Amino acid sequence: MQIKRKYGDNKDLDFTINLTDYYGKTASDIIDIIFVVKEKRSAPDNQILLKRFSDGNISFTGTVLVNVLINWASNEYENFKLNRKYIAGVYPKFTGDTIADENTDNEFELVIIEDLVQDN
Protein backbone atom coordinates (compact mmCIF):
# COMPACT_ATOMS: atom_id res chain seq x y z
CA MET A 1 0.00 0.00 0.00
CA GLN A 2 1.21 3.52 -0.75
CA ILE A 3 0.16 6.68 1.05
CA LYS A 4 0.77 10.09 -0.49
CA ARG A 5 0.83 12.99 1.94
CA LYS A 6 1.14 16.64 1.01
CA TYR A 7 4.10 18.50 2.47
CA GLY A 8 2.87 20.40 5.54
CA ASP A 9 -0.40 18.46 5.88
CA ASN A 10 -1.49 18.40 9.52
CA LYS A 11 -4.41 15.96 9.34
CA ASP A 12 -4.11 12.92 11.59
CA LEU A 13 -3.16 9.67 9.89
CA ASP A 14 -5.84 7.02 10.38
CA PHE A 15 -5.04 3.28 10.41
CA THR A 16 -6.72 0.07 11.42
CA ILE A 17 -4.85 -2.74 13.17
CA ASN A 18 -6.62 -6.09 12.99
CA LEU A 19 -5.88 -7.86 16.27
CA THR A 20 -6.94 -11.23 14.85
CA ASP A 21 -3.45 -11.14 13.27
CA TYR A 22 -2.03 -11.34 16.82
CA TYR A 23 -3.06 -14.63 18.40
CA GLY A 24 -4.82 -14.14 21.74
CA LYS A 25 -4.24 -10.38 21.92
CA THR A 26 -6.92 -7.77 22.61
CA ALA A 27 -6.89 -3.99 22.73
CA SER A 28 -6.53 -4.16 26.52
CA ASP A 29 -3.15 -5.90 25.97
CA ILE A 30 -1.75 -2.90 24.07
CA ILE A 31 0.70 -0.86 26.15
CA ASP A 32 2.15 1.19 23.30
CA ILE A 33 1.75 1.81 19.57
CA ILE A 34 4.72 2.96 17.53
CA PHE A 35 4.62 4.78 14.20
CA VAL A 36 7.94 5.03 12.41
CA VAL A 37 9.10 6.38 9.05
CA LYS A 38 12.51 5.39 7.68
CA GLU A 39 14.41 5.75 4.42
CA LYS A 40 15.23 2.05 4.35
CA ARG A 41 14.69 -0.96 6.55
CA SER A 42 18.34 -2.01 6.78
CA ALA A 43 19.55 0.94 8.88
CA PRO A 44 18.12 0.65 12.40
CA ASP A 45 18.84 4.24 13.46
CA ASN A 46 17.70 6.16 10.40
CA GLN A 47 14.24 7.11 11.66
CA ILE A 48 12.93 10.26 10.08
CA LEU A 49 9.79 10.38 12.17
CA LEU A 50 8.92 8.43 15.32
CA LYS A 51 5.62 8.70 17.20
CA ARG A 52 4.41 6.72 20.22
CA PHE A 53 1.14 6.27 22.06
CA SER A 54 3.16 6.46 25.28
CA ASP A 55 4.35 9.96 24.29
CA GLY A 56 0.79 11.18 23.61
CA ASN A 57 1.17 11.40 19.81
CA ILE A 58 -1.10 8.45 19.02
CA SER A 59 -4.59 7.55 20.16
CA PHE A 60 -6.60 4.39 19.56
CA THR A 61 -10.07 2.94 20.04
CA GLY A 62 -11.69 -0.39 19.36
CA THR A 63 -11.40 -3.99 20.47
CA VAL A 64 -10.61 -6.39 17.59
CA LEU A 65 -10.32 -3.80 14.83
CA VAL A 66 -8.30 -1.06 16.48
CA ASN A 67 -8.60 2.41 14.93
CA VAL A 68 -5.30 4.26 15.34
CA LEU A 69 -4.95 8.04 14.93
CA ILE A 70 -1.44 9.48 14.58
CA ASN A 71 -0.92 13.19 15.18
CA TRP A 72 1.40 14.64 12.52
CA ALA A 73 1.95 18.40 12.80
CA SER A 74 2.58 20.66 9.82
CA ASN A 75 6.06 21.55 11.13
CA GLU A 76 7.35 17.94 11.12
CA TYR A 77 8.39 17.73 7.45
CA GLU A 78 11.88 19.28 7.49
CA ASN A 79 13.64 15.88 7.28
CA PHE A 80 11.58 14.69 4.29
CA LYS A 81 12.42 15.13 0.63
CA LEU A 82 9.61 15.59 -1.87
CA ASN A 83 8.66 12.57 -4.00
CA ARG A 84 11.07 10.19 -2.22
CA LYS A 85 9.68 6.82 -1.17
CA TYR A 86 9.92 5.98 2.54
CA ILE A 87 8.96 2.86 4.45
CA ALA A 88 6.58 3.38 7.36
CA GLY A 89 4.78 1.19 9.81
CA VAL A 90 2.37 1.13 12.73
CA TYR A 91 3.32 -1.46 15.35
CA PRO A 92 1.55 -2.41 18.58
CA LYS A 93 3.49 -3.35 21.70
CA PHE A 94 1.68 -5.73 24.03
CA THR A 95 1.88 -6.34 27.76
CA GLY A 96 4.80 -8.67 28.50
CA ASP A 97 6.61 -7.95 25.22
CA THR A 98 9.98 -6.20 25.30
CA ILE A 99 9.61 -4.78 21.79
CA ALA A 100 6.74 -3.87 19.45
CA ASP A 101 5.44 -6.55 17.08
CA GLU A 102 6.62 -5.66 13.56
CA ASN A 103 3.84 -7.34 11.61
CA THR A 104 4.48 -6.49 7.97
CA ASP A 105 0.72 -6.19 7.35
CA ASN A 106 1.01 -2.83 9.12
CA GLU A 107 3.74 -1.46 6.82
CA PHE A 108 3.36 0.78 3.80
CA GLU A 109 5.21 3.04 1.42
CA LEU A 110 4.96 6.76 2.17
CA VAL A 111 5.60 9.55 -0.34
CA ILE A 112 5.60 13.23 0.58
CA ILE A 113 4.32 15.24 -2.37
CA GLU A 114 4.42 18.92 -3.16
CA ASP A 115 1.52 21.08 -2.06
CA LEU A 116 0.92 23.11 -5.22
CA VAL A 117 -1.00 25.81 -3.38
CA GLN A 118 1.45 26.48 -0.53
CA ASP A 119 5.16 27.22 -0.60
CA ASN A 120 7.15 24.04 0.08
Residue 120 domain-assigned?
no
- Say if residues 109 and 1 touch (Cβ distance below 8 Å): yes
Residue 9 domain-assigned?
yes
Residue 22: CATH number of its domain:
2.60.40
Say if residue 80's pLDDT is above 70. Answer: yes
How many other C-beta atoms lie within 10 A of the C-beta of residue 34? 21
Residue 118 domain-assigned?
no
pLDDT digits (tens, 9 = 90+) for 22-66: 888 999 999 999 999 998 876 666 789 999 999 999 999 999 999
- Domain, as residue range, for 45: 2-113
Question: For the chain, how many structural domains are there in total?
Answer: 1
Sequence-separated (6 or more) residues with CB below 8 Å from residue 111: 2, 3, 4, 5, 83, 84, 85, 86
> 90 - beta bridge partners?
35
Residue 89 domain-assigned?
yes
How many other C-beta atoms lie within 10 A of the C-beta of residue 65? 12
For range 1-17, the mean pLDDT: 92
Question: Using CA atoms, how far apart are residues 97 and 94, in angstroms rounded to an integer?
Answer: 6
